[in-house]
Amino acid sequence: MNAPTMPECFTLLGALAATTRHINIGSLVINVGSRHPGLLANAAATVQNISSGRFILGLGAGASPDSTFAQEQRALGIELPAMMAQRHARLEHALDVIDEIWSPTRDEKFAAFPSPEHDVPIILGVNSAALARIAGARTNGINIRASHPQRAQILAAAISAATGDSAADRAGVVDRGKGLGDFDVSVWDWFDESLLDPQSQQRQQFQAEGVNRIILLVRGAPDLARLEETPVS
């Protein structure tokens, strides 16, 4: 955790939703172990309604107890499952609860819980093929670090689950036009101007793997004037 402060995610998202009109907003990603799934569903639906449908819910299964990325949970005394399979099961349970609370035929006990007035796309941040298959089967998209050494294989697993293509032939899925539909395949990386060029070798490689969105992170305050003069494709 390299940030000097750690604002609460949904509080900040609510403020962004209320003070913007056109841009999409979202979380990349929220650890499902940090909140009760019911509270998570309530918060996400609330932000979606404030934003009039511009919110994307990014979720993650959480890291192992001894990981750097588990510092927040350790500080708060939140118990973390030691096994990856247990963390994945916890994430699927959270998805079950979200589906139940947002269902149009939900139990009357959830009557006072806000329902999202627009569908909430759910994206999973992943670092394994096992979690990628959950993303493909149960959510609207996948996100992975662009430099992950198994990026292509992990994306193929997600796309296979999303399309029902057991062959897991990434190029074949695209070429046959089977269609990923609304399944979002994204990678994240630090800002690199070369990635703005659709003809760059890296962009071509991403496209061959089925990537349809690149998320670029900027360290510090961005140079807005520079960005405005840079063509984006």
pTM: 0.87
All structural domains of the chain with their residue ranges: 9-228
C-alpha span between 153 and 133 (Å, rounded): 11
Please provide the CATH number assigned to the domain covering 9-228: 3.20.20.30
Hey, what amino acid is at 12? L
Supply the pLDDT for residue 2. 61
Tell me which H or E stretch contains 124: strand 122-125
Q: Supply the pLDDT for residue 230.
A: 67
Could you tell me the mean pLDDT of each successive run of 10 residues in the chain, 233 residues long?
A: 80 97 94 95 98 97 89 88 94 97 97 96 96 96 97 96 64 35 89 89 95 89 74 65
Q: How far apart are CA 125 and CA 184, in angstroms?
A: 12
What's the confidence (pLDDT) of residue 5? Answer: 82
The span from the CA of 145 to the CA of 138, in Å, is 20
Tell me the DSSP string of 59-88: EE----TTSGGGHHHHHHT----SSHHHHH
Q: Residue 71: what pLDDT?
A: 87
Buried b (16+ CB within 10 A) or exposed e, 198-219: eeeeebeebeebbbeebebeee
Residue 212: which of 150, 162, 138 has the closest Cα? 162
Residue (of 68, 60, 56) closest to 13 by Cα position? 56
Instruction: Give residue 182's pLDDT.
Output: 74
pLDDT value of residue 233: 62
Judge contact between 77 and 141, C-beta under 8 A: no
Asked if 115 contacts 48 with a C-beta cutoff of 8 angstroms, the reply is: no
Give the per-residue pLDDT at 18: 97
User: For residues 97 and 56, what is the distance between their CA atoms, to the nearest angstrom?
Assistant: 18
The backbone torsions φ and ψ at residue 16, rounded to the nearest 5 degrees and listed phi first, read -65, -40
Give the pLDDT of residue 177. 33
